[in-house]
Chain A
Amino acid sequence: MPISRFLVGTSLAITLACGGAAFAQNITIGVPVGLSGANSVVAPSVVQAAELAVDEINAAGGLLGKKLALEVADDGSGAAGAQKAFDALIFQKKVNVLISMETSAARNAGLPIVTRGKTPFIYTSFYEGRSCNKYMYINAWVPDQQVAPMVDFFMDKKDSKTFFLIGSDYAFGRGMLSFTKNYVEKRGGKVLGDEYNPMDATDWTAIISKIRATNPDALLMSTAGGAPNVTLTKQLRAAGIKAHFGNLGLDEGTAKSMGADAEGTYLAGSYYTSVETPANTKFLGAMKTKFGEKLLTPNDLSTPQYEAVHLYALAVKKAGTTDAEPVLAALKDVSFEGPRGLIQMNKERHAPLTMYLGQVKPDGTVNIMSTFKDVDPGSQCPKLD
């Protein structure tokens, strides 16, 4: 009967509107991250870092009178999964911002969706540089900040003249290694070869046989974060390769999961748990208190996530709204003292960072050998504000 159908329809509409209104009480941060695939080794630590930041902000009264909430989606560490994850977060869950660490393949696939959805996006993963988008800010390192310390160390302190470069076959692997090759050759070193394997490939046999044949002094590896690092290092060790191992894409969390195989690898990054600052001690204490036994090693892919959530909160407070344009303008002006030091994304959407060069110890932690303060990211996005 028409009247009761009208009543049912109206009450349904009212219920949905109330439900919608309930959602408007939260400010939602979308986190598309590689819960499956190559990044799955690190992704849980990234989610933990985001959860701590959200807890801290909510405990201090929330943001603009509302509570902060997280919406996590699996991007499969790749382009296809990223399209689904970004689409779901932006258009179905209607998040206010995306803050996440992803592979370059996932990021490049997601950026057109970010542009279409006009959603601010803070990218928290180190990457190969020069990715620019009106809606994106980056608070992690680029090769201009990370490669030089490692190569200089090998050439000056370890007398390495020949290098072999290994990477995953996508934007990050290719971009990092092309930068590295240029830098090595500029410094007078020789690159004996550069080889790439698909991101999800687990068999490095052919590349290892090439390394054996060319016998380089040092290896420079730039694979996708997580699983490829583990399989490559395992197989290199199993094959008895004697060169120095320099890993450009390895974080401390993954190094820990490698066990004995990681020992002796050289790393460069913007964060290690052994960094001794008051902010880092406070951060590690808070993580331990919140997660206890389940705590996953905070690392160079998870601490930028923590800082990015805080930076977003500060930008929203400054802009007085969650609308994209004012928040994007505010993001370059706010700064946050986090475990990695004072972070401000004011250099063409990127941030100057303090970098550390270290070596993995037998227990999986990193021994910091040198510190480089406030390294400039170089010119990454000259066309953006």
Chain B
Amino acid sequence: MVAQLLDVVSTAAILYAVAAGLLLVFGVMKIINFAHGALLTVGSYAAVVAGQYGLNPWLALPVAAAVGALLGIVIEYFVVRPLYARPLDAILATWGLGIVIGQLLTISFGRGVHFSEPPLRGVVDILAVDYSRYRLALIGVAVVIGVGISALLSRTRLGLDTRAVIMNEDLARGIGINSGRVRFITFAVGSSLAAAAGMLITPLSSVDPNMGTPWLVNAFMLVLVSGSSLVSLAIACVVLGGAQVLVSSYVSPILGGLTIAVLAAIILRVRPQGFAHA
């Protein structure tokens, strides 16, 4: 029971870390960045490379975040900004970009599967159950991400501008907010978060050029169900992630993989705003 609860919470934490960047970009720019999965993969490879150079695994996190931010800046300037007036084309462009990044990774690292070492090994005794230290640490990381972004949004000038752009971009520009700058920074932060999330999930599994795609699908579903609110994203991750864990445990892991997509579709049918306020 305790173990299962911890499974639910840690899975929700991982999903939150993966989806937060996508949510930010969606909220501000009203486009789904389909290169998010590829950026996740880039972060994973950053962890692999850090391991190959013998760096402390935790150092891979700032490295991945930095690489993600850099890529985000380049992508926003060259791909997304020119398509500002054509959001559907921008979405398509990010999908193509995702494919390009995947192929570049294949050229650099080969098609094979890579692995990286977990920064934290071993188990810790929690409420009479031995649970993975690393998974517990991820819960902490997800909380930090959530609190960090919320603090940025509610306590900084940039955050205020961002919230204004999220509410109504034209009006925000009307009162003098540089929405272009907000978009630029948001995209960089979103990409950085994607890469960081990629680095965080790597020690639990394996890295290959296409590993980002299943995560992209799940993150996409979670963002659709959350609207623009970080709080509703957290709720969605707990509910849908929890459902995934429970279905995998009690029915089968194969159906578990479908749970998030199916549940998201049902929720949106029943309540189009998803978990967000009206």
Binding site for B on A (CB under 8 A): 35-38, 40-41, 43-44, 74, 169, 195-198, 201-203, 205-207, 209-210, 212-213, 226-227, 230-231, 234-235, 237-240, 257-259
Contacts and interface: CB of A to CB of B under 8 A. Distances in A.
A102 B60 CA distance: 34
B253 A201 contact: yes
B206 A230 contact: yes
Residue with the highest number of chain B CB atoms closer than 10 Å, among A35, A40, A205:
A205
Nearest to A205: B7
B115 A43 contact: no
A36 B254 CA distance: 22
A209 B113 CA distance: 26
Residue with the highest number of chain B CB atoms closer than 10 Å, among A43, A202, A207, A213:
A202
A44 B253 contact: no
Residue with the highest number of chain B CB atoms closer than 10 Å, among A35, A196, A238, A257:
A238
Given A202-B205, A205-B7, A257 B115 contact: yes
Contacts of A238: 118, 121-123, 132-135, 204
A277 to B, nearest CB: 31
A206 B121 contact: no
Contacts of B248: 203, 205-207
B15 to A, nearest CB: 11
22 contacts: A40-B111, A41-B113, A44-B112, A201-B253, A202-B204, A203-B248, A205-B7, A206-B248, A209-B249, A226-B113, A227-B113, A227-B208, A230-B113, A230-B115, A234-B203, A234-B204, A235-B132, A237-B121, A238-B123, A238-B135, A238-B204, A240-B122
A235 B204 contact: yes
A206 B132 contact: no
B257 interface: yes
A227 B114 CA distance: 8
B29 to A, nearest CB: 30
A206 B247 CA distance: 9
Contacts of B211: 202
Contact of B112 (A41, A203, A239): A41
A258 B111 CA distance: 19
Given A238-B121, A240-B132, A205 B245 contact: yes
B156 interface: no
B229 to A, nearest CB: 27
Nearest to B11: A205
A197 B253 contact: yes
4 tightest A-B contacts by CB?
A: A206-B248, A202-B205, A240-B123, A36-B111
A239 B257 contact: no
Interface in B1-55: 3-4, 7, 11
A231 B205 contact: yes
The A contact surface, by secondary structure, is helix
Contacts of B122: 238, 240
Interface of B: 3-4, 7, 11, 111-113, 115, 117-118, 121-123, 129-135, 203-206, 208, 211, 245, 248-249, 252-254, 256-257
A152 to B, nearest CB: 30
A178 to B, nearest CB: 17
A238 B120 CA distance: 9
Nearest to A42: B112
Contacts of A205: 7, 11, 245, 248
Nearest to B244: A206
A37 to B, nearest CB: 8
A231 B7 contact: no
Nearest to B111: A36
Nearest to B10: A205
Given A41-B113, A238-B118, A240-B131, 16 more contacts: A74-B111, A196-B253, A198-B257, A202-B206, A202-B211, A203-B205, A206-B256, A227-B113, A227-B206, A227-B208, A230-B115, A231-B204, A235-B204, A238-B132, A238-B134, A239-B130
B131 to A, nearest CB: 7
A205 B3 CA distance: 10
A367 to B, nearest CB: 23
A202 B213 CA distance: 13
Contact of B3 (A202, A209, A257, A259): A209
Contacts of B132: 235, 238-240
Nearest to B201: A202
B4 to A, nearest CB: 6
A207 B111 contact: no
Contacts of B115: 230, 234, 257-258
Contacts of A209: 3-4, 7, 245, 249
Given A35-B111, A259-B117, A195 B253 contact: yes
B123 A239 contact: yes
Contacts of A240: 122-123, 130-132
B249 A36 contact: no
A36 B112 contact: yes
Contacts of A231: 204-206
Nearest to A258: B115
Contacts of A37: 113, 208
Given A202-B205, A205-B245, A231-B206, A212 B3 contact: yes
A37 B207 CA distance: 10
Contacts of B7: 205-206, 209
Nearest to B1: A213
A308 to B, nearest CB: 22
Residue with the highest number of chain A CB atoms closer than 10 Å, among B132, B206, B208:
B206
A205 B15 CA distance: 14
A205 B245 CA distance: 8
A35 B112 contact: yes
Contacts of B257: 198, 201
A203 B248 CA distance: 10
A74 B200 CA distance: 30
A74 B112 CA distance: 11
B121 to A, nearest CB: 7
Contacts of B256: 206
A132 B249 CA distance: 36
B11 A239 contact: no
